[in-house]
Amino acid sequence: MGTVTTTGAYGPWGIVAGGSDGVGVAFAHGMAARGINVVLVARRVPVLESAAAEIRARHGVEVRTVALDLGAPDALAELAGATAELEIGLFVYNAGADVRSVAFLDRDLDTHLSLVQRNCAAVLEAAHRFGAPMVARGRGGLVLVTSGAAWAGGATLATYGATKAFDLILAESLWAEWRGSGVDVLGLVLGRTDTPSHRRLLDAEGTASAGGQVYEGLADPTDIAEEALAHLADGPTWIHGSENPTGGSPFGALNRRDSVLAMSRGAAGSS
């Protein structure tokens, strides 16, 4: 099982959507360490350029940056245009975190729709625009980063969980379609992870460790990226931190109602 990510296996260039910090930049470092040139995509230009400079200095690969809001309807068309001359062999879609869990009606409709655009429509468009050339070439890799919120519905997780379930099913379906084509597809399921956005959430809610100590119980982004890159060929699904990472829902034999109630308790306990 598993594969070593190389330019021979996937191609000379990779894209990380949501690649300026956290899990995204960890993927970019992992790809660059394996000799893959990287395109970093994110909204915040200073953070994006800082990440790019560090990757160039550490790994000696080419790094390009594309400043985009992936929630904009034309974002993926713009990204495709900006990278048209590159052979993109590996695409990691990592954008779409929800930094605050709130009741469905306590968030305005435009915010919900923006999350659906970023986590569903843009992901689908990325898979279609960048996956088609991979399938035609007979090599490539696609990683869709999803969440444990995809396993069942839960209070305060309505739109976020629904979008992440979309990503999970999309990844598994594309794996089933492309598994004989030379293109690896992985739906990467994450739990609570030590990212800047998650730390900001914990700090805002007063639940972080006092005095800037280690944020206990949060997965390390580098560990996540390295594990995913090592197991890109072991799709359709990889559950980071699970004793059975290729297994099913952690809710196991629970019926749907009890799973939803358990997810709701978990959301309440983490907020």
Distance, in Å, from the CA atom of 76 to the CA atom of 79, rounded to the nearest integer, reads 5
Position 177 in a domain:
yes
Arithmetic mean of pLDDT, 195-223: 59
Side chain identity, residue 55: I
Lowest mean pLDDT segment, chosen from 2-11, 102-111, 121-130, 165-174: 2-11
Average pLDDT, the chain: 89
Position 1 in a domain:
no
- pLDDT bracket for residue 223 (50, 70, 90): very high
Length of the chain: 271
Arithmetic mean of pLDDT, 194-216: 50
Position 58 in a domain:
yes
Position 259 in a domain:
yes
Position 107 in a domain:
yes
Distance, in Å, from the CA atom of 40 to the CA atom of 47, rounded to the nearest integer, reads 11
160 assigned to active site: yes
Arithmetic mean of pLDDT, 85-98: 92
pLDDT of residue 210: 44
Share of the chain above pLDDT 90, in %: 77
Position 16 in a domain:
yes
Radius of gyration for the alpha carbons in the chain, expressed in angstroms and rounded: 18
In Å, how far from its chain's centre is CA 43? 15
Longest dimension (CA), the chain: 53
Could you list the residue range(s) of the whole structural domain that residue 210 is in? 7-269
Position 253 in a domain:
yes
Triad 111, 146, 227: Cα angle to 5°: 145
pLDDT of residue 83: 98
10 assigned to active site: no
Please count the structural domains in the chain: 1
In Å, how far from its chain's centre is CA 27? 9
CATH number of 111's domain: 3.40.50.720
Closest CA to 23 of 164, 188, 185, 151: 188
Query: Token pair of 81, please?
Result: 């245009």
Position 2 in a domain:
no
Give me the torsion for CA of 195, 196, 198, 199, rounded to 10°.
120
**Sign of the C-alpha dihedral, residues 10, 15, 21, 22?**
negative
Distance, in Å, from the CA atom of 151 to the CA atom of 250, rounded to the nearest integer, reads 8
In Å, how far from its chain's centre is CA 82? 21
**Sign of the C-alpha dihedral, residues 243, 233, 254, 147?**
positive
DSSP 145-186: EEEGGGSS--TT-HHHHHHHHHHHHHHHHHHHHHTTTTEEEE
Which among 10, 93, 164, 215 is annotated as catalytic? 164
Distance, in Å, from the CA atom of 156 to the CA atom of 263, rounded to the nearest integer, reads 10
- pLDDT bracket for residue 21 (50, 70, 90): confident
Query: Token pair of 88, please?
Result: 């993109």
Query: Token pair of 181, please?
Result: 């084509």
**Sign of the C-alpha dihedral, residues 147, 149, 151, 157?**
negative
- Whether the ω angle into residue 12 lies within 30 degrees of 0, i.e. cis, is no
